[in-house]
Amino acid sequence: MFAFRGLISSLSASINVFSISESASFHTASVFYAARKGTRARKEAKKTRVEIKKVAWTPDSKKKKDIHVSRKVDESNLEYPEDDVFMQKDYKLRIFQFQEALAGIRETHHPTMYNLPNAFVGATVEISTTTHQKKVKYIDPWTHIVEVENTFDHGEDRSIIAFCKEHEIAAQLQDMGVALVGDVSTIKGIERGLVTLPTFEYVICNPKILADLMHIRGLLKKKIPALKNNTLGVDLVGITKRLQSGIKYSMKKDTKDQDFGYADFIIGRLNMSTEQLENNLKRVLQDINSMKPNSKPHDEDFITRILLWSDPSPEKMKLDMDNLIEKPKAKVVDDESDGEEEEQVAAKAEGA
């Protein structure tokens, strides 16, 4: 009996000493385990490292060349000068008639001044390249050679090679100074390496021999005759005459101002008459105006400005375009025909 009481007392003593905190503990913070092998390496590899590139020193002369200066001129906020002497940059360019501008050039190139009575007379034409279309917003640059009646020595190298089957036309082309005039046998000789092509700028041919000419298109490359370039046709004599003595111009597009295009070209020499130079300019303007997109509004000007100049003088004179460009005629509606149409519409309405 006494032994049982002693056992109970010892158990109760041990229970009093026992604490809940000693038997279990609750973790409330998140546990951080070690990352798997290679995890840190993958995370470091994903981080983009900014590499500092060393920039080479650029001379000031090259920096000035890289600066883009637009040729587009906006005179909308300027006024015409009232005095005879003024700062040109603060006013609009004065508009000259062609005869007045040419007289000014002849005055500066007089033997008592520049002493260049046979200098080239040049023109600058500026256009609006917008097409008002969603897919094609601007016109692509182009190069044309315009045939003119009043020819002159342009001083350019325009070597031509021609291919045709007619012996009479071949003889005429040789008399005109064509570098090479060949036929089918000549094409085969070029293909086999027996005939060497001379240096050439243009290639013209008759459509009848175009299929044979395709065998050497690798040598001709982009100068292969085509209707688009006006180098493919039946009248090879006329094509040769245009290429040799025509006025060449290249319409360029500004790299920054995509809606602005310009072309600098020569229209003749100072020893030519005023009428001859004016006719040459009108002929080139007519060709440029023919490239106006059909999507442009009828009343919107395609050619925006024309300047006349002659080196070495830096002066460029703005020309009056009204007498140089033929504006499209507006459609005239006849009152009688208009009345007849109204009567027909009324009759149809009554019948309905």
Residue 332 has pLDDT above 50, yes or no: no
Q: What is the pTM of this model?
A: 0.72
Same domain for 251 and 141? Answer: yes
3-state helix vs strand vs coil in the chain, percent to 5: 35, 15, 50
The position carrying tokens 């149409």 is: 341
Does pLDDT of 129 surpass 50?
A: yes
Residue entry with tokens 């002929």: 283
Considering only CA atoms, which of 255, 261, 251 is closest in space to residue 129?
Answer: 261
Q: How far apart are CA 252 and CA 238, in angstroms?
A: 27
At 198, is the pLDDT very low, low, confident or very high (cuts 50, 70, 90)? confident
- For the stretch 275-295, pLDDT in tens is 999 999 999 999 999 999 988
Is the same domain home to 164 and 236? yes
Is 61 among the domain residues?
no
Q: Is residue 116 part of a domain?
A: yes
Asked if pLDDT for residue 335 goes beyond 60, the answer is no
Q: Which helix (H) or strand (E) holds 40?
A: helix 39-46
Q: Does one domain contain both 273 and 294?
A: yes
300 and 287 in one domain? yes
Task: Say if residue 173 is in the same domain as residue 300.
Answer: no
In a shared domain, residues 235 and 255: no
The pLDDT of residue 8 is above 60: no
Q: Tell whether 230 is covered by a domain.
A: yes
What pLDDT does residue 58 have? 77
| Mean of per-residue pLDDT scores for the chain | 83
Distance in angstroms (rounded) separating the CA atoms of residues 347 and 115: 77
- Model confidence band, residue 337 (pLDDT cutoffs 50, 70, 90): very low
Same domain assignment for residues 128 and 272: yes
Provide the domain count of the chain: 2
- At residue 282, the pLDDT reads 96
Structural domain span for residue 226:
160-244
The confidence score (pLDDT) of residue 296 equals 86
46 CB-contact burial (10 Å; exposed 0-12 / middle 13-18 / buried 19+)? exposed
Q: Which residue has the higher pLDDT, 152 or 11?
A: 152
On whether both 171 and 310 belong to a single domain, the answer is no
pLDDT in tens, 36-93: 767 777 877 777 666 777 777 778 777 666 676 778 888 888 998 888 888 888 899 9
Tell me which of 200, 218, 244 is where a domain ends: 244
178-182 contacts: CB < 8 A, separation 24 or more?
A: 178/240
The CA-CA-CA angle for residues 231, 237, 239, to 5°, reads 25
CATH number reported for the structural domain that contains residue 216 in this entry: 3.40.50.790
Token pair 């385990």 is found at 33
Asked if residue 124 is part of any domain, the answer here is yes
> For residue 298, what pLDDT band results from cuts at 50, 70 and 90?
confident
Query: What is the residue-wise DSSP string for 157-222?
Result: ---EEEE-S-HHHHHHHHHTT-SEEE-HHHHHHHHHTSSPPPP-SEEEE-GGGHHHHGGGHHHHGG
CATH (domain of 262) = 3.30.190.20
Residue 86 within any structural domain of the chain:
no
Co-location of 311 and 267 in the same domain: yes
In a domain, 176, yes or no: yes
Of the listed ranges 71-80, 139-148, 159-168, 341-350, the least confidently predicted one is 341-350
